[in-house]
Structure 1
């Protein structure tokens, strides 16, 4: 297979790698621009505070049972109500908050329509700290929180940091795979190097997707029962998870096809042989059909006979030369081979 076949062979993994990069870019652009409705729909988790109230919809016993199931035993339902009262009185809250990879966005809800008003400045290794965002770091609200709050926030911060790093490495590795992929057109060695880079990109793309999905799923399931009793709802975004898992799927498919290009689709031409003396590829000349040559043409007559190379001189038309009995006798039984 020649160069054209080689180009056709790596076309599929190259397109898949580009598709994976586009999906990763969409994940990174979520919650970065308030004026873009498309980017505002890319979020990991949405916190809806529109119907927040200090009067729980469940009984005191039910709320305390939910708290104990989540490992919170030193907080009562009245403590939660006091925190929400202070939260509503001590700060100006938006109706909802959306968490992205680089920051968050907030906005108001009018006639069931969510309008994003502001987005935070993009920040590396971002994690959503509600009390910092709501300006309650120095208030007495934190005194009402369980003792495990700081421990849980440290875990959440560490996992969010790892998630950000995983996506960043996946982004860089995917770009590198696209650049190195140009060299895969030339040889299988180029495909081999590209495959290694593509595997590296896939590992971190999958790691980012798994981390984000598990992190916010646990976050939502842990706090859902307690917060919904006070009108606070948590919902996970759909578009950003579709984008991140599509990036993972495209990256995996690219690895498979890059590996295939290492084993197959050589760029060498199947014609011609390499000259051992000069290393130059050449095409052997073919002899004309129906031609013969004696086996002893290399200088030695077969069967130990002496080769007679004398031939009669040309004569005029109509005359026939006398037979050369010596030549005829020496070559009478000489075998011939087909060229």
Structure 2
């Protein structure tokens, strides 16, 4: 029973670690499957220029972002992001440069060479960001930072848990079980905070932008692959903790002392 429990714990811990790593390094390079893993996608393919230009732009006029050299989609990862054209074909990904925050204006300024186009889209974005989102942007970015840090901590704890799991095959002491249980519950808490924070933060941002989508044409959607990987890793950590609870240390052999017969003289 112990053998199967320890083996299952090792397999599930390793699987949880791999899933969390893929979630953590999504959108860091333009290659499958990493370029398909992102926390959130910003869609400006239907951005409304008429909102800013008003009467100066005929309603029948359609401005192509591809023609202007502007990406239609931004796939935000934890450390970097990828750019995609109007057909959602990913053209490039940035190199990891710290925790990626939600900043529409910076994304455009970094990826649009035409200053007039940048200024035009900046005007649309400045109108599209309601006060509810703009005033609390530092708060939302703090939550995004919390998501990133707890994700890294969870990955580190899972790595340590694998080492302890290997030691469990060799050492059968109580303290090994205790350490394994502590690491498994801490990894579950850390990744749970990361997944919960990411989901809640981007759902709020998504809802705020969707209220103004018909007018400005900017929306946000969640990356299903990222959340599937991360929440699966969280579930694996919980199962792993249960398995560590079921794991028992090997019982020591009990030596029964027999009384020594005494000879009568």
Please report the TM-score for the alignment, with normalisation by the length of structure 2. 0.79
Contact 1:103 1:127 in 2 (8 A): no
2:105 is the alignment partner of 1:131: yes
Q: Structure 1 segments of 4 or more deviating over 4 A? A: 78-82, 136-140, 142-150
Paired position in structure 1 for 2:255: 273
Paired position in structure 2 for 1:48: 43
Closer/same/farther in 2, CA of residues 81 and 124 from structure 1, 3 Å limit:
farther
In the alignment, which of 8, 23, 29 is matched to residue 12 of structure 1? 8
Paired position in structure 1 for 2:20: 24
SS at match of 1:135: helix
Paired position in structure 2 for 1:38: 33
Paired position in structure 2 for 1:202: 188
Q: Distance in 2 between matches of 1:180 and 1:274?
A: 33
Closer/same/farther in 2, CA of residues 155 and 28 from structure 1, 3 Å limit:
same
Contact 2:27 2:35 in 1 (8 A): yes
Deviations 1:209-238, CA, capped at 9 Å, x for gaps: 101111111111111120243333432221
Contact 1:104 1:128 in 2 (8 A): no
Q: Distance in 2 between matches of 1:148 and 1:208?
A: 23
User: What is the aligned-residue RMSD (CA, Å)?
Assistant: 3.1
Q: CA deviation at 1:191?
A: 1.0
Please report the TM-score for the alignment, with normalisation by the length of structure 1. 0.63
Deviations 1:84-105, CA, capped at 9 Å, x for gaps: xxxx7xx842111111111111
Deviations 1:67-123, CA, capped at 9 Å, x for gaps: xxxxxxxxxxx56979xxxxx7xx84211111111111112134xxx2111111112
Q: Distance in 1 between matches of 2:6 and 2:181?
A: 11
2:144 is the alignment partner of 1:155: no
Unaligned 5+ segments in structure 1 are 56-77, 83-87, 276-283, 285-296, 301-306, 308-339
Pairing of 1:113-124 with structure 2 (within 5 A): 114-124=88-98
SS at match of 1:121: coil
Pairing of 1:199-278 with structure 2 (within 5 A): 199-261=185-247, 264=248, 266-268=249-251, 270=253, 273=255
Unaligned 5+ segments in structure 2 are 56-64
Q: Distance in 1 between matches of 2:220 and 2:131?
A: 23
How many aligned residue pairs are there?
242
Paired position in structure 1 for 2:60: none
Q: Give the greater-gyration-radius structure (CA).
A: 1
Closer/same/farther in 2, CA of residues 249 and 119 from structure 1, 3 Å limit:
same
Contact 1:124 1:164 in 2 (8 A): no
Query: Which has the higher relative contact order, 1 or 2, with Cα contacts under 8 A spaced 6 or more apart?
Result: 2
Deviations 1:303-338, CA, capped at 9 Å, x for gaps: xxxx7xxxxxxxxxxxxxxxxxxxxxxxxxxxxxxx
Closer/same/farther in 2, CA of residues 79 and 31 from structure 1, 3 Å limit:
same
Paired position in structure 1 for 2:61: none
Pairing of 1:284-299 with structure 2 (within 5 A): 298-299=262-263
The structure with more helix, counted as a fraction of residues:
2
